[in-house]
């Protein structure tokens, strides 16, 4: 097994006034040649968006885009005619495929919104664009991981799906819990992003907003040292073509 800690203070940052952004990987004006992507995970942005502000209409293609509100909500509009607000407790997926235009605006005129947005390279190119969202409440399954995204050809119906051999899990845990995470597919890697709390993984301390990457393993053991909120992203480490 090979592992690496990604401390929160080594992330890229941007302050646009209305947007306070933290970049786990190179994005926009932030470029770090050692942090371009983790396998097929290309973007993990940790954003705080001012009231009434957001990302105006812009294009995407051939990318799986996942949005996870952490506080407040975002109003989504796209060129397929979808209009919906995704809020804390929900997850949104969008397969950009052959091309789509969309906007994501803070749904509140008075309160800030905090969101995570992930981009994952797809395994299929030029698919028909699609949009979906679903509510998940990890508190209802406290001390267990909740599968929120899985592959299009392996989905069991409970999770949202994307065009990649990738799995996303969210979990809310008390202190002193032991989590066993088995890799779903040989050749995949795990990128754990700690939203809140403190963990220990293979003797390594992981604190809030740190990330921890692991490859070449079958099962990894995670111990919560404090009440914790965890996002686990499992992705292929190389293109399948």
Determine the average pLDDT of the residues in 132-158.
91
pTM of this structure: 0.96
Max CA pair span of the chain: 49
- Cα-Cα-Cα-Cα torsion 45, 113, 85, 192, nearest 10 degrees, comes to 40
**Angstrom distance (rounded) from CA 132 to CA 185:** 25
Task: With H, G, I as helix, E, B as strand and everything else as coil, classify residue 8.
Answer: helix
- The 10s digit of each residue's pLDDT in 198-230 is 999 999 999 999 999 999 999 999 999 999 999
**Angstrom distance (rounded) from CA 99 to CA 79:** 9
**Superfamily name and number for 8-236:** Jelly Rolls (2.60.120.10)
**Angstrom distance (rounded) from CA 16 to CA 219:** 41
**Angstrom distance (rounded) from CA 238 to CA 89:** 31
- The 10s digit of each residue's pLDDT in 16-74 is 999 999 999 999 999 999 999 999 999 999 999 999 999 999 999 999 999 999 999 99
User: Is 88 within 8 Å of 69 (Cβ atoms)?
Assistant: yes
- The 10s digit of each residue's pLDDT in 117-131 is 999 999 999 999 999
Residues 6+ apart with CB under 8 A from 102: 57, 58, 60, 76, 77, 78, 79, 94
The pLDDT of residue 139 is 80
**Angstrom distance (rounded) from CA 75 to CA 95:** 17
């Amino acid at each position: 097994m090979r592992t690496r800690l990604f401390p929160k203070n080594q992330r890229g940052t941007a302050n646009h006034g209305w947007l306070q952004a933290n970049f786990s990987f190179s994005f926009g004006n932030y470029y770090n040649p050692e942090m371009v992507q983790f396998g097929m995970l290309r973007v993990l942005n940790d954003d705080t968006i001012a009231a009434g502000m957001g990302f105006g209409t812009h294009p995407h293609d051939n990318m799986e885009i996942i949005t996870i509100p952490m506080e407040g909500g975002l109003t989504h509009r796209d060129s397929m005619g979808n209009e919906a607000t995704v809020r804390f407790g929900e997850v949104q997926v969008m397969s950009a495929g052959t091309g789509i235009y969309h906007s994501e605006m803070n749904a509140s005129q008075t309160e800030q919104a905090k969101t995570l947005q992930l981009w994952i390279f797809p395994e299929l190119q030029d698919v028909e664009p699609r949009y979906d969202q679903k509510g998940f409440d990890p508190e209802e399954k406290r001390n267990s991981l909740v599968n929120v995204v899985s592959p299009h050809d392996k989905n069991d119906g409970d999770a949202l799906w994307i065009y990649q051999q990738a799995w996303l899990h969210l979990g809310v845990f008390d202190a002193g819990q032991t989590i066993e995470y088995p890799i779903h597919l040989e050749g995949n890697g795990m990128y754990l992003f700690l939203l809140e709390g403190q963990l220990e993984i293979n003797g390594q301390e992981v604190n809030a907003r740190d990330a921890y990457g692991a490859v070449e393993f079958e099962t990894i053991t995670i111990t919560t040292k404090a009440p914790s909120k965890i996002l686990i992203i499992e992705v292929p480490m190389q293109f399948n073509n």
